[in-house]
């Protein structure tokens, strides 16, 4: 159940500037997506001003609506669903009937963008494939989000975020060496796929401005998951060696990891040799360590990781966090508290970025809202062109 007292403690959003249109004002998006990756992608388009019409089944709607917690006034509005579907209109449409499909076709004829993440073959069976849609709307941008792509031997498989975390090797990189790899609790593959899809759609809009043509976009979760293994993939490709799990440390930076001062645990990393020297010379006042010739290169420090960690923990054990943070900041050493999620959301840092607030919902009253604060400067020619249908 929603904690109304807690929600009422969040700030109301600042008043929008009058007549300040978003970069995607005037664009129409027909949204056939459900759960996370697809809805989050279309939500980003809505955040920038696009009109998004979400198509849902008359029975139950998007299955993501059932994820808890729910407000007592409306059991169909779970918090996760609200998180991924703000700024949208929603209609119930039975796509198992000819009438429902015909309504969808009429909407698509007027649309700029269609986004879908059904199982492979569903949109084809409905008569709503890219080919059939572009036949009546040649400027249409059609984005298909899937688990493994729409063609090939794996295209029929159903996949979810934790599955592709496992299959891509991402899971094998995370955790501690004495146990199995660990998935990310957050749906990082769904979120990164949403970011990839919304970015691809933006690029397609730029291309359409130049040539007047729409295009088909495909964004599979598995492809994105391989990308999300980061430069570890290149390390593996160039050496053939499996990456080892290092817990909270990293083999590419030393010292790094979780340390404990007088009152808090914090994370710190020395990503360059110069940061290492600043840490010990300025912040910890240990010039002997900073200038030790056996520690000047990261490759040499990795072999002395335990020694350095012990020196750091001993040096900070009697210093409270606020005082230590000032020292680390003055030395330009990257560092941060190890927060719980609740602590992070309520932190001064989140508040300084205006990341958490509340808005009025027409059915359930005040609801919390969180998200990235975008600063978007749109050239006049682009802002004008995106209004054209």
Q: Following CA atoms 313, 319, 320, 325 in sequence, which dihedral angle do they give, to the nearest 10 degrees?
A: -80
Instruction: Quote the pLDDT of residue 215.
Output: 97
First to last CA, the chain: 43
Q: Which candidate, 59, 63, 105, 108, places its Cα nearest to that of 84?
A: 63
Q: Looking at residues 335-340, what average pLDDT do you find?
A: 98
Q: Looking at residues 136-151, what average pLDDT do you find?
A: 97
* DSSP classification of residue 319: S
pLDDT band at 251 (very low <50, low <70, confident <90, very high): confident
Residues of the chain with CATH 3.40.50.10540: 4-230+374-385
Arithmetic mean of pLDDT over the chain: 93
Judged against a pLDDT cut of 60, whether residue 28 lies above it is answered with: yes
Q: Which helix (H) or strand (E) holds 213?
A: none
Cα separation, 8 vs 192, whole angstroms: 31
DSSP class per residue in 76-110: EEEHHHHHH-TTEEEEE--TTSHHHHHHHHHHHHH
Q: Looking at residues 16-25, what average pLDDT do you find?
A: 71
* Spatial contact of 182 and 171, defined as CB atoms under 8 Å apart: yes
Cα separation, 339 vs 51, whole angstroms: 37
pLDDT band at 371 (very low <50, low <70, confident <90, very high): confident
* Spatial contact of 220 and 190, defined as CB atoms under 8 Å apart: no
Cα separation, 196 vs 198, whole angstroms: 6
The tens digit of pLDDT for each residue in 275-289 reads 999 999 999 999 999
The tens digit of pLDDT for each residue in 85-114 reads 999 999 999 999 999 999 999 999 999 999
Judged against a pLDDT cut of 90, whether residue 13 lies above it is answered with: no
Q: Which of 31, 62, 71, 190 is catalytic?
A: 190
Q: Looking at residues 13-30, what average pLDDT do you find?
A: 78
Residues of the chain with CATH 3.30.1540.10: 256-338
In this structure, the number of other CB atoms found within 10 A of the CB of residue 296 comes to 14
* Spatial contact of 92 and 86, defined as CB atoms under 8 Å apart: no
Look at 240-254, 322-336, 365-379 and tell me which has the smallest mean pLDDT.
365-379
Residues found in the chain = 389
Q: Looking at residues 241-261, what average pLDDT do you find?
A: 95
246 classed as catalytic: no
Instruction: Quote the pLDDT of residue 1.
Output: 87
Phi first, then psi: what are they for 292, rounded to 5°?
-65, 120
Number of continuous H segments (helices) and E segments (strands) in the chain: 18, 13
Cα separation, 3 vs 366, whole angstroms: 11
Judged against a pLDDT cut of 70, whether residue 372 lies above it is answered with: no
Instruction: Quote the pLDDT of residue 388.
Output: 30
The tens digit of pLDDT for each residue in 192-227 reads 999 999 999 999 999 999 999 999 999 999 999 999
Class of domain 256-338: alpha beta
Instruction: Quote the pLDDT of residue 20.
Output: 56
* Spatial contact of 266 and 335, defined as CB atoms under 8 Å apart: yes
Cα separation, 8 vs 384, whole angstroms: 39
* Spatial contact of 58 and 18, defined as CB atoms under 8 Å apart: no
The token pair that represents 185 in the structure block: 């609790």
pLDDT band at 376 (very low <50, low <70, confident <90, very high): very low
Judged against a pLDDT cut of 70, whether residue 272 lies above it is answered with: yes
Look at 15-29, 33-47, 142-156, 234-248 and tell me which has the smallest mean pLDDT.
15-29
CATH number given to 4-230+374-385: 3.40.50.10540
């Amino acid at each position: 159940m929603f904690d109304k007292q807690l929600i009422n403690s969040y700030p109301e959003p600042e008043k929008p500037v009058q007549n300040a249109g978003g970069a995607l004002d005037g664009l129409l998006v027909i949204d056939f997506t459900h759960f996370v990756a697809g809805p989050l992608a279309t939500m980003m388009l809505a955040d920038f001003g696009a009109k998004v019409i979400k198509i849902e089944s008359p029975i139950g709607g998007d299955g993501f609506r059932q994820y808890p917690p729910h407000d007592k006034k409306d059991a169909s509005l779970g918090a996760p669903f609200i998180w991924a579907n703000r700024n949208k209109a929603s209609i119930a449409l039975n796509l198992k009937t000819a009438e429902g499909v015909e309504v969808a076709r009429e909407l698509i004829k007027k649309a700029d963008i269609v986004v879908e993440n059904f199982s492979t073959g569903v949109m084809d069976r409905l008569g709503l494939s890219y080919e059939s849609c572009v036949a009546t709307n040649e400027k249409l941008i059609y984005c298909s989000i899937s688990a493994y792509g729409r063609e090939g031997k794996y295209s029929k498989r159903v996949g979810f975020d934790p599955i592709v975390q496992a299959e891509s090797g991402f899971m094998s990189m995370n955790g501690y060496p004495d146990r199995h790899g660990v998935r990310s609790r957050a749906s990082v593959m769904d979120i990164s796929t949403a970011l990839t899809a919304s970015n691809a759609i933006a690029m397609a809009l730029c291309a359409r401005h130049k040539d007047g043509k729409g295009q088909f976009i495909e964004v599979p979760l598995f492809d994105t998951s391989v990308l999300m293994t980061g430069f570890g993939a290149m390390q593996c490709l160039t050496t053939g060696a499996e990456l080892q799990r290092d817990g909270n440390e990293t083999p590419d930076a030393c010292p790094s990891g979780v340390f404990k001062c007088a009152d808090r645990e914090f994370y710190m990393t020395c990503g360059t040799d110069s940061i290492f020297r600043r840490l010990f010379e300025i912040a910890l006042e240990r010039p002997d360590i900073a200038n030790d010739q056996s520690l000047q290169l990261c490759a040499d420090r990795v072999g002395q990781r335990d020694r350095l960690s012990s020196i750091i923990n001993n040096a900070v054990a009697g210093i409270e966090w606020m005082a230590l943070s000032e020292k680390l900041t003055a030395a330009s050493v990257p560092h941060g508290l190890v927060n719980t999620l609740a602590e992070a959301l309520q932190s001064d840092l989140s508040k300084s970025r205006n990341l958490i607030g509340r808005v009025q919902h027409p059915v359930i009253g005040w609801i919390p809202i969180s998200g990235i604060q975008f600063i978007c400067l749109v050239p006049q020619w682009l802002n004008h062109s995106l209004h054209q249908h």
